[in-house]
Amino acid sequence: MTDKPNSRRNPLVRPNPISGFPEYSPEVCLELHQRLQAVAKLFASHGYTPIQTPIVERLEILQAKGGDVDKEIYTLGRAAQSDGTDAELALRYDLTVPLARYVAAHFGEITFPFKRSHIGDCWRGERPQDGRYRQFKQADIDVISINTLPLSFDADIPLIANEAIRTMGVTDHVFRVSNRKILSGALSALNVAKPQAVTRVLDKLEKIGRAEVARLLADNLGVSSTDCDLLLSLAQITSHDTEFTEQVRALNLKHDLLDVGLRELEYVVSRAQASGASEFLVDLSITRGFDYYTGTVYEVQWRSQPHLGSIAAGGRYDDLSSNYIRKRLPGVGMSVGISRIFGKLVQTSAIAPSKKTTTDVLIVWDRASSEKSLQDIARQLRARGQCVEVYHSATKLAKQVQYADRKGIRFVVFPRFNEFKDLRTGDQALFNVETFNQK
Amino acid sequence: MTDKPNSRRNPLVRPNPISGFPEYSPEVCLELHQRLQAVAKLFASHGYTPIQTPIVERLEILQAKGGDVDKEIYTLGRAAQSDGTDAELALRYDLTVPLARYVAAHFGEITFPFKRSHIGDCWRGERPQDGRYRQFKQADIDVISINTLPLSFDADIPLIANEAIRTMGVTDHVFRVSNRKILSGALSALNVAKPQAVTRVLDKLEKIGRAEVARLLADNLGVSSTDCDLLLSLAQITSHDTEFTEQVRALNLKHDLLDVGLRELEYVVSRAQASGASEFLVDLSITRGFDYYTGTVYEVQWRSQPHLGSIAAGGRYDDLSSNYIRKRLPGVGMSVGISRIFGKLVQTSAIAPSKKTTTDVLIVWDRASSEKSLQDIARQLRARGQCVEVYHSATKLAKQVQYADRKGIRFVVFPRFNEFKDLRTGDQALFNVETFNQK
């Protein structure tokens, strides 16, 4: 091994993980995988079925959407001269753009409505900070159809997303719902000149406050003070039930689109109430940017972690794949910020990992037993769903038990004595390989 | 929506997936996830516990290993001007380098022997071809300890990997095992001048044949024809049991290292035999490159897909993390080529996906039933582990049944008639929400 390129005399390379790219130990990983599996099972139990797309997309696909995210896109290059077959590639920054491309690319094979789930990593070159990672996991569900999409999905999606958030371990969140058509209808009813610019200003309500919004609407966009008051009153309507309709009616705005929006939102809220979920709140200030969503919109905040921003969001869009295919493909979907939620639960010790291993049972290796007999015991227990290790050498008993203790393995089997010990309770009992079944 | 940036009048962007980056439909994804879950469960049942590392590493970490892979590394850049906080980053090309870095970075928190599993994607800018992808999934298990590592792991690892390969759906593979110490000992016994160069030539035996190896050893490396015959005879020894020892002894080579190698390999083969696995074959031509592995080595070929090369490989290494930490950390591990196996199974129709959805049960929405009553049925079935959809609108029965049929949903429930239909058998029966439990 004399010509080994990296001998001990070489200077050491720093092994630290990179800021913004989370790295999880086995104990934390076990907690994450358990939750991810539960979320995947939840999505599956509602018929939302996974697809897999590459983490890499052509840069032109990712940039087609436009907007602020462009400057955060990670592009791919090659450490050495490429063979010239590389397209210009980049890492995806969400799971929605890959879905839009996927639906266009595989249009002919898909049975619509297409209910897809996707739990996967995304990348953005943001400055790492609390709750913001450069590599982050999202759990998305979307449904897409051709030409029209039934309203029932606008209620299904947030109910499932709400369960996913609970499954991740959040207990104190508020699930805000609104419908874009209400504000759009109101702006049309008032004949406001620049509806999109006005919407963008109203979207800042929570951030900059009522007075500043009023000033911007009047000074920059020429909205009359009566209209301004009306719009601000509209945006400040909240309710836990369908009462919001009366509050909107009281503003005396008349427009078909507004009526449609009210009926749609009533349906979504009724379904949420019928399901018994108490986290839902109609909040007409929610707009989620303007160019993308066209109907129901969702935004979830974590009450005890308000600075994290939204931990889940989404809405209905008219035309997801119009960049790639000349079909009208409306959809509705939500994205749950797995990394944002999980990172905070670990950081605040709401999740306190205790097991360093999946192993439930350690079989002690004593010299009196043949290795084959020990492996046979392990095989029988594994066949019954137990996670089992045979200790890796015939060393002192105390050392073997200490290993179990350090790794958080609960049961230790002493084959020679036909006994097992529960390290959690300290209890010792007879071991029978045929009947032993502890978790 | 008049200023929507991507209106229908814009030219379309091609939505095709990128060559070498596999993309899976729901039906294929369901098959893959099912197998991945089974492999993860298998690893867990032996106490191999997952870690998560970023898919991104510092370029210097990836290049520290040296070798051919360097020119295939994908580096990361930014589509727009970065804020200057980026390190030089690149996508990992295997799961071993991240493990080596992880162990060094978290040395103090780890309980050794550290048994870790990792199922994850890797990237190499290879020219895409049959069985070679630019994004590919691997399933790795490794165990690492401090200073010494018991030999029992050299037998555990291939037995688990063998089960993983079976779990993926391969039935006709050969699991070749050897031990580097045997050849190293023989070369020392013969006092061969350039042992590493000779090993590299012998490694080509299968590729270039006995005659050409003999020519290279004699002409380029000055190996005598007697030694050459001996070495070729050694390299051509194969056996399904421990008989190889006698064959090696017959060559009359004497060296301590050779003896150690024989004993180690005998142990591994005995354990394989005791387990009943029939895929194992001692093949002393296996060396797996020279600078990395130091003892037991593994290489698995798929008999019916020989051109794929190895579908799993690995071995024992003395010192995994010596680039990052001044500790001796020996390990043994294997990597199973999930994408290579799965891609071929799909391509050859050995896997024939039939379900387009996770859904087992479709509940028909008829106008006679309240939506709440339908959702309640779905909720009750889901609570018992069924995957259930309520059809999304109260349209014609025939259309709803057709949807189930097209998506491969087996059971359709007609709440109004208290009946359900099994679309596979055509049978119709009474539906009772309390007792219905079909999969």
Taking the CA of residue B299 and the nearest CA in chain A, the distance in Å comes to: 22
Q: How far is residue A395 from each of residues A364, A392, B192, measured CA to CA in Å?
A: 9, 9, 39
How is residue B374 written in tokens?
A: 């339908």
Q: Inform me whether the C-beta atom of residue A69 falls under 8 Å from chain B C-beta atoms.
A: no
| Cross-chain CB nearest to B60 (options A13, A40, A70) | A13
Identify the residue whose tokens are 């029966």: B429
Q: Inform me whether the C-beta atom of residue B371 falls under 8 Å from chain A C-beta atoms.
A: yes
What pLDDT digit, counting tens, does each position of A298-350 carry?
Answer: 999 999 999 999 999 999 998 888 889 999 999 999 999 999 999 999 999 99
Taking the CA of residue B360 and the nearest CA in chain A, the distance in Å comes to: 8
Taking the C-alpha atoms of residue B272 and residue B359, their distance in angstroms, rounded to an integer, is 41
Identify the residue whose tokens are 């008829």: B366
Percent pLDDT > 90 in chain B is 80
pLDDT for the residue A66:
59
Angle between helices A338-347 and A26-45 (to 10 degrees): 140
Residue of B nearest to A12 (CA): B324
**pLDDT mean over B144-163:** 97
pLDDT band with cut points at 50, 70 and 90 for residue A98: very high
Interface test with B, best of A25, A31, A373, A413 (most B CBs within 10 A): A25
What pLDDT digit, counting tens, does each position of B384-406 carry?
Answer: 999 999 999 999 999 999 999 99
Q: Inform me whether the C-beta atom of residue B174 falls under 8 Å from chain A C-beta atoms.
A: no
Angle, alpha carbons A412-A351-B98 (nearest 5°): 75
* pLDDT > 70? residue B9: no
Taking the CA of residue A252 and the nearest CA in chain B, the distance in Å comes to: 25
Q: Inform me whether the C-beta atom of residue B118 falls under 8 Å from chain A C-beta atoms.
A: no
Size of interface A-B (CB pairs under 8 A): 316
How confident is the prediction for chain B on average, in pLDDT?
Answer: 92
Taking the C-alpha atoms of residue B116 and residue B437, their distance in angstroms, rounded to an integer, is 37
Question: Residue B318: its chain A contacts at CB < 8 A?
Answer: 1
Tell how strand B114-123 and strand B135-144 pair up.
Answer: antiparallel
Judge: A70–B79 Cβ closer than 8 Å, yes or no.
yes
Q: CATH classification of B361-430, choosing from 3.40.50.800, 3.20.20.110, 3.40.50.2300, 2.40.30.10?
A: 3.40.50.800
Taking the CA of residue A81 and the nearest CA in chain B, the distance in Å comes to: 7
Percent pLDDT > 90 in chain A is 80
Could you give the 3-state DSSP secondary structure of residue A302?
strand
What pLDDT digit, counting tens, does each position of A160-189 carry?
Answer: 999 999 999 999 999 999 999 999 999 999
Compare A3 and A322 and report the one with higher pLDDT: A322
Angle, alpha carbons B43-B109-B38 (nearest 5°): 10
What pLDDT digit, counting tens, does each position of B312-328 carry?
Answer: 999 999 888 888 999 99
- Cβ-based neighbour number of residue A256 at 10 Å: 11
Q: Inform me whether the C-beta atom of residue B197 falls under 8 Å from chain A C-beta atoms.
A: no
Taking the CA of residue A389 and the nearest CA in chain B, the distance in Å comes to: 6
**Chain-centroid distance, C-alpha B390:** 38
Could you give the 3-state DSSP secondary structure of residue A244?
helix
* C-alpha R_g of chain A: 28
Domain covering B17-165+303-354, topology: BirA Bifunctional Protein; domain 2 (3.30.930)
Judge: A52–B59 Cβ closer than 8 Å, yes or no.
no
pLDDT for the residue B6:
46
pLDDT band with cut points at 50, 70 and 90 for residue B216: very high
Q: How far is residue A262 from each of residues A159, A254, A284, measured CA to CA in Å?
A: 19, 12, 11
Identify the residue whose tokens are 């999980």: A342
Interface test with A, best of B8, B10, B18 (most A CBs within 10 A): B18
Q: Inform me whether the C-beta atom of residue B410 falls under 8 Å from chain A C-beta atoms.
A: no
- Homologous superfamily (CATH) of A173-302 is Bira Bifunctional Protein; Domain 2 (3.30.930.10)
Interface test with A, best of B135, B357, B402 (most A CBs within 10 A): B357
How is residue B33 written in tokens?
A: 């996830």
pLDDT for the residue A439:
67
pLDDT band with cut points at 50, 70 and 90 for residue A11: confident
pLDDT for the residue A84:
54
Taking the C-alpha atoms of residue B365 and residue B227, their distance in angstroms, rounded to an integer, is 81
Taking the C-alpha atoms of residue A40 and residue A46, their distance in angstroms, rounded to an integer, is 10
Could you give the 3-state DSSP secondary structure of residue B370?
coil
| Cross-chain CB nearest to B45 (options A22, A111, A387) | A387
Cis peptide before A195 (omega within 30 of 0): no
* pLDDT > 60? residue A53: yes
pLDDT band with cut points at 50, 70 and 90 for residue A2: very low
Q: Which residues pair with A142 in a beta bridge?
A: A116, A333
Lowest mean pLDDT among A401-415, B69-83, B191-205, B223-237: B69-83
Q: Inform me whether the C-beta atom of residue A193 falls under 8 Å from chain B C-beta atoms.
A: no
- CB A411 within 8 Å of CB A360: yes
pTM of the shown model: 0.94
How confident is the prediction for chain A on average, in pLDDT?
Answer: 92
Taking the CA of residue A310 and the nearest CA in chain B, the distance in Å comes to: 24
Instruction: Please check whether the two domains, A22-166+318-354 and A173-302, share a CATH topology.
Output: yes
- Cβ-based neighbour number of residue A171 at 10 Å: 11
What pLDDT digit, counting tens, does each position of A377-409 carry?
Answer: 999 999 999 999 999 999 999 999 999 999 999
pLDDT for the residue A49:
96
* pLDDT > 50? residue B176: yes
Interface test with B, best of A9, A19, A29 (most B CBs within 10 A): A29
Question: Residue B372: its chain A contacts at CB < 8 A?
Answer: 274
Q: Which residues contact A313 (CB under 8 A, 6 or more apart)?
A: A288, A298, A299, A300, A334, A335
pLDDT band with cut points at 50, 70 and 90 for residue B14: confident
- Homologous superfamily (CATH) of B173-298 is Bira Bifunctional Protein; Domain 2 (3.30.930.10)
Q: Inform me whether the C-beta atom of residue B403 falls under 8 Å from chain A C-beta atoms.
A: yes
Size of chain A in residues = 439
pLDDT for the residue B7:
46
Residue of B nearest to A83 (CA): B127
Task: Map out the domains of chain A as residue ranges.
Answer: 22-166+318-354, 173-302, 361-430
* pLDDT > 70? residue A57: yes
Q: Inform me whether the C-beta atom of residue B354 falls under 8 Å from chain A C-beta atoms.
A: no
Q: CATH classification of A22-166+318-354, choosing from 1.20.1280.50, 3.30.930.10, 3.20.110.20, 3.30.465.10?
A: 3.30.930.10
Q: Inform me whether the C-beta atom of residue B129 falls under 8 Å from chain A C-beta atoms.
A: no
Residue of B294, B275, B334 lying closest to B310 (CA atoms): B334
- CB B114 within 8 Å of CB B144: yes
Taking the CA of residue A284 and the nearest CA in chain B, the distance in Å comes to: 20
pLDDT for the residue A3:
39
Residue of A nearest to B108 (CA): A25
Q: How far is residue B284 from each of residues A73, A182, B262, B294, measured CA to CA in Å?
A: 49, 75, 11, 14
| Cross-chain CB nearest to B82 (options A125, A321, A357) | A125
| Cross-chain CB nearest to B21 (options A33, A49, A54) | A54
Q: Inform me whether the C-beta atom of residue A354 falls under 8 Å from chain B C-beta atoms.
A: no
How is residue A112 written in tokens?
A: 């619509």
pLDDT for the residue B206:
84
| Cross-chain CB nearest to B74 (options A26, A72, A76) | A76
Judge: A324–B56 Cβ closer than 8 Å, yes or no.
no
**pLDDT mean over A248-255:** 96
Taking the CA of residue A217 and the nearest CA in chain B, the distance in Å comes to: 20
Judge: B393–A150 Cβ closer than 8 Å, yes or no.
yes
Question: Residue B21: its chain A contacts at CB < 8 A?
Answer: 54, 56
Angle, alpha carbons A153-A159-A162 (nearest 5°): 140
Angle, alpha carbons B170-B281-B223 (nearest 5°): 130
Tell how strand B173-179 and strand B280-283 pair up.
Answer: parallel
* pLDDT > 90? residue B288: no
Judge: B12–A325 Cβ closer than 8 Å, yes or no.
yes
Q: Inform me whether the C-beta atom of residue A63 falls under 8 Å from chain B C-beta atoms.
A: yes
Q: Inform me whether the C-beta atom of residue A367 falls under 8 Å from chain B C-beta atoms.
A: no
Judge: A15–B61 Cβ closer than 8 Å, yes or no.
yes
